[in-house]
């Protein structure tokens, strides 16, 4: 419910600003390089992907607000400690699918470069079957992250790199350890 209210408020604010400023709409996609911290997970990054759309509302010559909706797939390898701590049988890979809503503040110091920062709200849409078959809801249904990155703008093409650090604990089993996400997003967007 809270997520729906946040999304509605953001849409109302940006819709009101859009009437006075230039609005840009686009699509984007790319690779996710993910890692979950905690002794239950391997201390290395794994690959996933993201795809979605965005719109950008100008706030003067140098600033803009850019809400996005992205589908993210996150693949994570568990460590040998995972099965020991949580009594799961042979769980080695976890796949999570999130509907992510980043809200970026864009700052454009020069024509071809944009610096980005802002929060990202994630809603878990699908847990890996391995965890469901074991009868546990191991991951919380929501995630809050902070993003920072850079984007190169070449005509209608946007090439971007972002770093996301999770602020919320994803462990929904117990309080034995905190699971937090980290990810690097590399991608290409097209402004329509």
List pLDDT tens digits, range 83-111.
444 544 554 567 778 889 999 999 999 98
pLDDT score at 139: 61
Q: Which residue has the higher pLDDT, 82 or 25?
A: 25
Decide if 44 contacts 78 (C-beta within 8 A). no
Label residue 164 exposed, middle or buried (CB < 10 Å: 0-12, 13-18, 19+). buried
Is 31 within 8 Å of 186 (Cβ atoms)? Answer: yes
Domains of the chain in start order, with CATH, are 2-191 (2.40.160.20)
- 0.85 exceeded by pTM: no
Residue 131, number of CB atoms within 10 A of its CB: 19
């Amino acid at each position: 419910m809270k997520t729906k209210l946040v999304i509605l408020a953001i849409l109302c604010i940006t819709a009101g600003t859009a009437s006075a400023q230039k609005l840009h709409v686009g699509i984007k996609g790319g690779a996710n390089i993910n890692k979950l911290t905690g002794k239950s997970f391997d201390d290395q990054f794994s690959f996933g992907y993201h795809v979605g759309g965005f719109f950008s509302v100008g706030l003067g010559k140098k600033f803009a607000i850019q809400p996005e909706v992205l589908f993210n797939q996150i693949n994570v390898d568990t460590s040998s400690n995972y099965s020991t701590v949580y009594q799961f049988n042979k769980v080695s890979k976890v796949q999570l699918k999130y509907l992510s809503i980043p809200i970026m503040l864009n700052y454009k110091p020069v024509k071809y470069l944009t610096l980005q920062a802002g929060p990202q709200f994630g809603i878990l849409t699908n847990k890996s079957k391995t965890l469901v078959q074991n009868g546990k809801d191991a991951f919380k249904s929501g995630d809050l992250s902070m993003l920072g990155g850079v984007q190169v703008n070449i005509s209608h093409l946007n090439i971007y790199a972002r770093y996301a650090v999770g602020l919320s604990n994803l462990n929904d089993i117990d309080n034995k350890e905190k699971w937090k996400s980290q990810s690097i997003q590399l991608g290409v967007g097209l402004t329509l």
